[in-house]
Amino acid sequence: MSEHKKAVVGPWTDVWNGADPSKLREFTDPDIHFESSGLPGSDGIDGLVEVITELRRAFPDGEFVTHEVIAEGDTVVNRWTFRGTQKGEWMGRPGTGRSVEVNGTSTNHFRNGKVVEHLADWNSLGMMQQLGVIEL
């Protein structure tokens, strides 16, 4: 069963990388809870699709690459890198034309074979620095 859950990471990543967001319905609970560093949280698949759509508009060339996937029980954790160029508005800021590379980890909790909670922790401060929004 863990292998089935680990296998969901591929299609999940594909959707974030530009595949049709309606595919989420195949492996995501309609009432999913989503939290991510630096982003507004959401409940429900429509809220998640909205977050993905905003990211794709802001970073049309954005790509998530998965480096490692670990599963135990009803939990799957994956370590990833996101790379992209901000061409559209992101978090209220106009496109900068700058490229970013950030690392993160996502924890997915399953119920009845579907993702019911997705928690992402990533370097949102590093992204804002790379975009020139924040200087340290």
When pLDDT is averaged across residues 53-79 and rounded to a whole number, the result is: 96
Query: Which pLDDT belongs to residue 72?
Result: 94
CB burial readout 12-45, b (16+ within 10 A) else e: bbebbeeeebeebeebbbeebbbebeeeeebeeb
Residue 135 lies in a domain: no
Residue 19, in any domain of the structure: yes
Is 94 part of any domain? yes
CATH classification at residue 18: 3.10.450.50
Reported in sequence order, the residue ranges of the chain that DSSP labels E, i.e. its strands, are 28-36, 39-43, 63-72, 75-85, 99-111, 114-122
Q: State residue 1's pLDDT score.
A: 55
Number of domains the chain is built from: 1
Tell me if 83 is assigned to some domain.
yes
Q: Give the ranges where the chain is alpha helix by DSSP (H).
A: 2-7, 9-16, 45-58, 124-130
pTM given for the model: 0.92
Q: The tokens 């993702």 sit on which residue?
A: 115
Residue 34 in domain: yes
Which of 132, 134, 116, 124 shows the shortest CA–CA distance to 48? 116
Query: Whole domain around residue 99: which residue ranges?
Result: 2-130
Residue 40: predicted pLDDT: 78
In a domain, 36, yes or no: yes
65 three-state secondary structure = strand
Asked, for residue 136, whether it belongs to a domain, the answer is no
d(CA 134, CA 108): 30
Average pLDDT, the chain: 93
Q: Does the structure show a pLDDT above 70 at 9?
A: yes
**122: in domain:** yes
Average pLDDT over residues 9-29: 93
